[in-house]
A and B are shown apart, each in its own frame.
Chain A
Amino acid sequence: GQQVMQIPQYQHVQEGEDFTTYCNSSTTLSNIQWYKQRPGGHPVFLIQLVKSGEVKKQKRLTFQFGEAKKNSSLHITATQTTDVGTYFCAGSPNDYKLSFGAGTTVTVRA
């Protein structure tokens, strides 16, 4: 079945620094979504990418979808303490069923 791999598993970042988390699928995806889960909370939708090579920005967050629609990345600039949490990518081959990556858990050193 479809597998979505995500690296790194943990990211310890100094406040103000940038970091990137990567997502790779074993199969071509129809779309990829990114979610954020705060400690003790539930996943909250951030964004969806559909087109090959698509790039979307949300303030300090930049999301990319690969040309082959099998990989994606999330880049955060100038990390803040509010960025703490686990970031999940979730891929779908058919627009209905999502396969979640293992997530990247981000901690921030002030």
Chain B
Amino acid sequence: DAGVIQSPRHEVTEMGQEVTLRCKPISGHDYLFWYRQTMMRGLELLIYFNNNVPIDDSGMPEDRFSAKMPNASFSTLKIQPSEPRDSAVYFCASRPAGGTYEQYFGPGTRLTVT
């Protein structure tokens, strides 16, 4: 299995631009999570989906952030408009419904907003 796939791996954009981060979870996994990691705030859960349905988006910082999961093999996290304080590493993770509750993380997208 290829694991969780994220793209792009690096993104540099100017303040005010729209940014879209993409994630392909591991096939057969029912849960998908979006995290943000910064030095100041650590690893924060932004939103998670179960069977493509958003379950908890209480970690989404503000209305500039939105996430979708149109099907079981694809999810996006969009920031519009982006701000310098959004600079962080964004991780996508997935896990199956049964078994242990282990989450499999993707390699992350390092976002820099100038």
Contacts and interface: CB of A to CB of B under 8 A. Distances in A.
Nearest to A4: B42
A61 interface: no
A42 B48 contact: no
B108 A96 contact: no
Contact of A100 (B43, B50, B102, B107): B43
A95 B55 CA distance: 13
B25 interface: no
A79 interface: no
B81 to A, nearest CB: 27
B45 A99 contact: yes
Contacts of A52: none
Interface string B78-114: 0000000000000101000000111111111000000
B54 to A, nearest CB: 13
Interface of B: 31, 33, 42-45, 48, 50, 55-56, 91, 93, 100-108
Given A42-B108, A98-B103, 11 more contacts: A31-B101, A33-B101, A41-B107, A42-B91, A42-B106, A42-B107, A43-B43, A43-B93, A45-B104, A48-B101, A98-B45
